[in-house]
């Protein structure tokens, strides 16, 4: 394999393209496609004298036939989907139609319902298996890197994992009163939805941001408020590691963000149902997205760090054990390298490395997979040199 197609030219698409272009020995030919081809052209122009052969194209990822026609013309071995989660199914169907392997970074989400679920993608497993194709889901950071952390911990640190807490901190400051670090529609739908966590074989639902803790992050970040959310990697991890008794996901939010979000919710601006305005139907959240800063524009003004990792409690050699594995990423360092802030960087780098794993045959299989179903060791060996080094500690206490 040597030819890859990247769909989506937002912040994450920028990172995936830039990282792939850094490795022309693997990605000898790159097709970079988006609804707006000028976005692709602008990103490509930032790479002086690229050693990969690069082509750009316009495509509407909502339309299977249009996607399939472009894939047929270019004939990539692999499609990396960093478009919107709404478009996962159409891109997967186009890959099936053209005999092309597939990667994404986030599970499918229906545009008319704030519901995150792998089921529609998992249901395509038999089709991908019959076609002899690999569909690799959730290859960002969370989901993605966090899933690999769980697989790595289970392989090397534990005989049994009992509890997992995934903890995501963005301690960056972009200077705006209110902005989102990735697509506003996806971000706000995710945060305003009810929380869920897994415990003793069942899912327990909470009100949005109902559960809060204070966590002391490493790397000079310090204490931050963290809130319990539902996050998609828990769906596959609890399925693939049924021994896990409890799994939770936590994310940091500043008070200014939460105050703005509450006001926007109260006045109906986060709604996803169309409303009639001056004879036209508009979706409030989509209108709000048009007013907010483009997340891809935040890179030059965002300072600070992210810290994302997993805390574990379990058993090794008959003894209880606690383990914490995490990455710290600096916003400005990420921007210097690829022109994007750390939230985009931490999502895009694992996707690009996962593409390498498939392109080189290190990971292979027919069907629909989540990333934790492949051997974590070659990925963990390379993710540091690719830009996301990991650290590990052994906390004294299981609780925090």
Tens of pLDDT, residues 315-333 = 999 999 999 999 999 999 9
Residues 6+ apart with CB under 8 A from 48: none
Q: Is the same domain home to 132 and 158?
A: no
Question: pLDDT value at position 269?
Answer: 82
- Mean pLDDT over 70-79 rounds to 97
Structural domain of 220:
145-339+389-393
Q: Is the same domain home to 173 and 127?
A: no
Closest CA to 343 of 171, 181, 232: 181
Q: Is the same domain home to 207 and 85?
A: no
Does 358 reside within a domain? no
Total residues belonging to the chain:
400
CB 309, CB 167: distance < 8 Å: yes
In the predicted model, is pLDDT for residue 69 greater than 90? yes
pTM comes to: 0.93
H or E segment at 238?
Answer: helix 233-240
Question: pLDDT value at position 109?
Answer: 82
Please tell me which residue, 374 or 271, carries the higher pLDDT value. 374
Q: Is the same domain home to 183 and 323?
A: yes
Share of residues in the chain with pLDDT > 90 (%):
76
Structure tokens at 228: 């319990």
Question: pLDDT value at position 151?
Answer: 98
Q: Is the same domain home to 186 and 85?
A: no
Does 62 reside within a domain? yes
Q: Is the same domain home to 188 and 285?
A: yes
Does 362 reside within a domain? no
Question: pLDDT value at position 181?
Answer: 67
Residue-wise pLDDT for 97-143, tens only, equals: 999 999 999 998 877 666 678 999 999 999 999 999 999 999 999 99
Q: Is the same domain home to 154 and 301?
A: yes
Q: How confident is the model at residue 180 (pLDDT cuts 50, 70, 90)?
A: confident
CB 313, CB 153: distance < 8 Å: no
- Mean pLDDT over 302-308 rounds to 95
* Domain boundary residue, one of 90, 116, 137: 137
Question: pLDDT value at position 279?
Answer: 86
Please tell me which residue, 101 or 173, carries the higher pLDDT value. 101
Residues 6+ apart with CB under 8 A from 201: none
Share of residues in the chain with pLDDT > 70 (%):
98
Q: Which long-range contacts (C-beta less than 8 Å, at least 24 apart) are formed by 258-262?
A: 258/209, 260/177, 260/178, 261/178, 261/188, 261/191, 261/192
Residue-wise pLDDT for 13-44, tens only, equals: 999 999 999 999 999 999 999 999 999 999 99
- Mean pLDDT over 270-284 rounds to 86
Q: What are the phi and psi torsion angles at 214 (to 5°)? A: -115, 130
CB 134, CB 369: distance < 8 Å: yes
Domain count across the chain: 2
Q: Is the same domain home to 127 and 156?
A: no
What 8-state DSSP symbol labels residue 299?
G
* Domain boundary residue, one of 85, 115, 137: 137
Average pLDDT of the residues of the chain: 93
* Domain boundary residue, one of 109, 137, 165: 137
In the predicted model, is pLDDT for residue 145 greater than 70? yes
CATH of the domain at 49: 3.40.50.720
Q: Is the same domain home to 129 and 149?
A: no
Structure tokens at 80: 């990396």
Residues 6+ apart with CB under 8 A from 1: 77, 78, 358, 359, 360, 361
Q: Is the same domain home to 221 and 266?
A: yes
- Mean pLDDT over 380-389 rounds to 98
Does 37 reside within a domain? yes
Q: Is the same domain home to 133 and 172?
A: no
Does 235 reside within a domain? yes
- Mean pLDDT over 284-295 rounds to 83
Does 125 reside within a domain? yes
Structure tokens at 260: 């703005």
Q: Is the same domain home to 94 and 187?
A: no
Residue-wise pLDDT for 227-262, tens only, equals: 999 999 999 999 999 999 999 999 998 887 878 877
- Mean pLDDT over 154-180 rounds to 91
Does 309 reside within a domain? yes
Does 353 reside within a domain? no
Question: pLDDT value at position 114?
Answer: 62
Question: pLDDT value at position 189?
Answer: 74
In the predicted model, is pLDDT for residue 359 greater than 90? yes
Question: In a 3-state reduction of DSSP, which class is residue 186?
Answer: helix
- Mean pLDDT over 290-302 rounds to 81
Question: In a 3-state reduction of DSSP, which class is residue 288?
Answer: helix
CATH of the domain at 174: 3.30.360.10
Measured CA distances, 248 to 226, 231, 232, 311, 316 (Å) = 12, 9, 11, 10, 21
- Mean pLDDT over 48-56 rounds to 93
């Amino acid at each position: 394999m040597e030819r890859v197609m990247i769909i989506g030219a937002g912040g994450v698409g920028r990172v995936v393209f830039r990282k792939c272009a850094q490795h022309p020995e693997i990605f000898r030919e790159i097709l970079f496609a988006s609804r707006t081809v000028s976005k692709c052209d602008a990103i490509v122009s930032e790479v002086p004298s690229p050693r990969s052969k690069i082509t750009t194209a316009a495509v509407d990822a909502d339309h299977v036939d249009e996607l399939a026609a472009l894939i047929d013309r270019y004939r990539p071995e692999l499609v990396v989907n960093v478009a919107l989660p709404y478009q996962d199914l159409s891109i997967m169907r186009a890959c099936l139609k053209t005999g092309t392997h597939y990667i994404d970074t986030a599970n499918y989400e229906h545009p008319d319902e704030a519901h995150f679920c792998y089921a529609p993608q998992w249901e395509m497993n038999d089709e991908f298996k019959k076609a002899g194709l690999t569909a690799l889901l959730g290859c960002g950071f969370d989901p993605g890197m966090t899933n690999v952390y769980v697989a790595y911990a289970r392989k090397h640190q534990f005989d049994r994992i009992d509890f997992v807490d995934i903890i995501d901190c963005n301690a960056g400051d972009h200077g705006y009163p209110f902005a989102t670090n990735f697509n506003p529609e996806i971000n706000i739908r995710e945060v305003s939805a009810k929380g869920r966590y897994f415990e003793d074989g069942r899912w327990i639902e909470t009100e949005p941001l109902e559960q809060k803790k204070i966590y002391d992050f490493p790397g000079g970040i310090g204490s931050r408020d963290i809130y319990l959310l539902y996050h998609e990697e828990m769906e596959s991890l609890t399925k693939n590691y049924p021994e896990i008794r409890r799994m939770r996901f936590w994310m940091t939010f500043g008070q200014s963000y939460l105050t703005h979000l509450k006001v926007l919710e109260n006045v109906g601006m986060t709604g996803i149902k169309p409303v009639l305005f001056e004879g036209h139907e508009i979706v409030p959240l989509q209108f709000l997205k048009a007013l907010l800063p483009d997340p891809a524009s935040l890179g030059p003004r965002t300072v600070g760090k992210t810290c994302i990792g997993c805390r574990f409690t379990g058993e090794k050699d008959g003894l209880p054990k606690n383990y914490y594995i995490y990455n710290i990423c600096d916003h400005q360092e990420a921007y210097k390298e690829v022109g994007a802030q750390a939230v985009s960087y931490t999502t895009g780098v694992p996707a690009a490395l996962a593409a390498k794993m498939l392109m080189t045959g290190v990971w292979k299989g027919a069907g629909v997979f989540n990333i934790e179903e492949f051997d974590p060791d070659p990925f963990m060996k390379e993710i540091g040199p690719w830009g996301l080094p990991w650290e590990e500690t052994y906390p004294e206490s299981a609780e925090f």
